[in-house]
Structure 1
């Protein structure tokens, strides 16, 4: 995946795929419900949709294929993937290998299929095909919009811009380590990981020192000015630097840092494009707010109503609670790295399709099935 897409870090991708293999739920989440009474027996069961169209990204290429594949097949479905064109070779190879493994344990051949040469046209053809009952999209705003216009039931995972808010009561050393670990995972191409830091002003300087101890390269104001010209392109993110090592990015402005350096930190204001745009690269912007209350309000603004992910570092239970209510995100992590919300160093299952636009949140086999009810009247009572 790294070789084909040019995105991320090999060691991090190994960890991500192991997480998916170990913590993606299967049929165990599909338990039926039954109701008995004087008038008989009713059973609610989960049933497959049939053929699912799955649109997957280049950022979390094989992770999304494996995660969706397990959940969709566990629900009794077959899947046709339209993968991102820039990851088609690794994804199509991976799907072939998954099919071989499934056939070896008794599944029919080609339960998982993919378009050999995926395009926007092939994605639209799949999404509108009469044989497709469910469309699952993991990607950016454009593909989500197209899916929602398909006329099918859609599960859509859109963009995120997760804020990390740190107040004056937080364990600053731990907060810096956690945010550093989350932000730098796979060069920041994972949609749920920290994209900007909202720091209460009274602890901002100390927090920056802790980030440096956690491995950050601290950028000066002049460095930031130079960097703007490199990673911004007419008000948008320059895709040439998405998912690249920070050493490669900083080399463009004349800074030589080790390849082992995982991210750079810069201080800007809230309105800065580094804060407002989902960068998907290991450049972490920090801005100051006067109080935790102001920090919560700023975090809501930076998240842009994506209902995706947010984190908060505080030892004040009221702050933790108030931010949870205010951001209203699918994932909310207290005092830990964002990826803990995916079960990586935290409890619970993992999912790589976080459906904020359509409301399912972390998707499992349950979401890839439909409910059916069977009722038998006046019989099957044992008392």
Structure 2
């Protein structure tokens, strides 16, 4: 008896053929049918939020279970609540004064690239917005998180089918390779690539010849202006930077502090158990932030501050929340001025507001242009000026960077795919949701 083993290319072809047939049927579903399906997916993924968090943590070693549960809950509950009442089928808007009728139509099959840092929550999020817009979605998983992504996909698919969806709408590549991902992205039946992952993968998505929405790296500066409530600001920054040990790309990366309040900021940070690295310790840690090729070292991603310190041979108190290194240089070769998906913060000192604005933009242009920047201030005029002048798509004021950017502590659209705009090499500045996965045709009458 012989057993047929699918090649990577054959697997992708099979998944696409199945998804195409399922999506063509799903495109005929009513709004009520679609809404019943996403409701069941939301409920089932919420029920499995802890199991999925444990699976992701055990497989990748990134972050911690408690915060991954919160991320799964955010993806299943907050995202669902934000999209459940949006019309996506048939006539979605009537504009009698403009004599226009807007009709929502699905795109087809979406290729969803899933990162290892937020694997299960990203599956839930992308599946919900794809299903809400009557699209099929095929996930290309990061190999380091394959099992947890497979589990999340299975839960989503079974929930959708149980609510009446055709089988095959939601699937995953089970033999993930660069070749398989490339075959998926370049296939003529893929309507859109939704890319969340490393810079190289996002670049590949945009180079595939298929329409794509990709997001670049984050390197979020946070400016603490001299009128800020310092204790509250530091509380929020520490909460944000330690959430899932820094794996959300919008988490703060560099503190930019006015010299007049620097000592007060330092004392507030120490009260929250931040550890200030001396020059020798900073040098040791810097050797572990980047690999020899300049890429972020995965060994430190999503690890606690004491564990990161231990990797560099540094002893810090067990209750250390973040590691802080004072810096003056911004460059591609200085790892402290780049994205660090772990509880490490750079600390820069400025002597004036204008200098702070300039430094924040330097940090963003060094890496993370167009992504996210934060300001802590009690001056609303300065908050507006910050928004006008900073090269970021999300300008957060007096909130947590990690959770504010994704819409957890702000009124931004709840999303786990954050556009960086043209300056960041992205096709949108939006928090991606159903509107980016829905085509709209317009019936226009003579005026």
Q: For 1:184-210, what per-residue CA distance to the aligned partner results, in whole angstroms no more than 9, with x for missing partners?
A: 111111111111111111211210110
Q: Which moved more, 1:154-163 or 1:369-378?
A: 369-378
SS in 2 for 1:239: coil
Q: Which moved more, 1:28-37 or 1:140-149?
A: 28-37
Structure-2 change in CA distance of 1:46 and 1:27 (3 Å): farther
Q: For 1:80-130, what per-residue CA distance to the aligned partner results, in whole angstroms no more than 9, with x for missing partners?
A: 110111111100111011111112222222211110011111111011111
Tell me the distance in 1 between the aligned counterparts of 2:446 and 2:287: 71
Tell me the distance in 2 between the aligned counterparts of 1:369 and 1:229: 45
| Partner in structure 1 of residue 53 of structure 2 | none
Tell me the distance in 2 between the aligned counterparts of 1:144 and 1:343: 22
The answer to whether the Cα contact below 8 Å between 1:30 and 1:366 also exists between their aligned partners in 2 is no
Tell me the distance in 2 between the aligned counterparts of 1:372 and 1:131: 21
Structure-2 change in CA distance of 1:77 and 1:291 (3 Å): same
Q: For 1:141-175, what per-residue CA distance to the aligned partner results, in whole angstroms no more than 9, with x for missing partners?
A: 21111111122211111111010001111111111
Tell me the distance in 2 between the aligned counterparts of 1:67 and 1:118: 20
Is 1:248 the equivalent of 2:307? yes
Is 1:216 the equivalent of 2:216? no
Question: Whose helix proportion is higher, 1 or 2?
Answer: 2
| Partner in structure 1 of residue 378 of structure 2 | 315
| Partner in structure 1 of residue 12 of structure 2 | none
The answer to whether the Cα contact below 8 Å between 1:343 and 1:350 also exists between their aligned partners in 2 is yes
| Partner in structure 2 of residue 238 of structure 1 | 297
Tell me the distance in 2 between the aligned counterparts of 1:54 and 1:119: 14
SS in 1 for 2:303: coil
Q: Shift in Å at residue 348 of structure 1?
A: 4.5
The answer to whether the Cα contact below 8 Å between 2:364 and 2:391 also exists between their aligned partners in 1 is no
- Aligned residue pair count: 376
Is 1:345 the equivalent of 2:403? no
Tell me the distance in 2 between the aligned counterparts of 1:99 and 1:236: 35
Stretches of structure 2 that go unaligned for 5 or more consecutive residues are 1-55, 421-425
Structure-2 change in CA distance of 1:282 and 1:54 (3 Å): same
Q: For 1:249-275, what per-residue CA distance to the aligned partner results, in whole angstroms no more than 9, with x for missing partners?
A: 111343334554332222122326233
Q: 2:360 aligns with which of 299, 305, 323?
A: 299
User: Considering only aligned residues, what root-mean-square deviation do their CA atoms show, in Å?
Assistant: 2.0
The answer to whether the Cα contact below 8 Å between 2:406 and 2:418 also exists between their aligned partners in 1 is no
The answer to whether the Cα contact below 8 Å between 2:369 and 2:391 also exists between their aligned partners in 1 is no
Alignment of structure 1 residues 164-243 onto 2, 5 Å: 164-234=222-292, 235-243=294-302
Structure-2 change in CA distance of 1:360 and 1:112 (3 Å): farther
Highest RCO, 1 vs 2 (Cα 8 Å, sep ≥ 6): 1
| Partner in structure 2 of residue 359 of structure 1 | 428
Tell me the distance in 1 between the aligned counterparts of 2:186 and 2:400: 39
TM-score (norm 2): 0.80
Structure-2 change in CA distance of 1:146 and 1:311 (3 Å): same
| Partner in structure 2 of residue 43 of structure 1 | 101
Alignment of structure 1 residues 1-383 onto 2, 5 Å: 1-24=56-79, 25-30=82-87, 32-36=92-96, 42-234=100-292, 235-257=294-316, 259-271=318-330, 273-304=334-365, 306-338=369-401, 339-356=403-420, 357-375=426-444
Q: Which moved more, 1:207-216 or 1:76-85?
A: 207-216
| Partner in structure 1 of residue 6 of structure 2 | none
Q: Shift in Å at residue 77 of structure 1?
A: 0.3
Stretches of structure 1 that go unaligned for 5 or more consecutive residues are 379-383
Question: Whose strand proportion is higher, 1 or 2?
Answer: 1
Structure-2 change in CA distance of 1:33 and 1:264 (3 Å): same
Q: Shift in Å at residue 21 of structure 1?
A: 1.3
Tell me the distance in 1 between the aligned counterparts of 2:139 and 2:291: 31
Tell me the distance in 1 between the aligned counterparts of 2:162 and 2:291: 49
Q: Shift in Å at residue 373 of structure 1?
A: 2.0
Q: Shift in Å at residue 312 of structure 1?
A: 0.2
SS in 2 for 1:190: coil
SS in 2 for 1:168: coil
TM-score (norm 1): 0.92
The answer to whether the Cα contact below 8 Å between 2:120 and 2:149 also exists between their aligned partners in 1 is yes
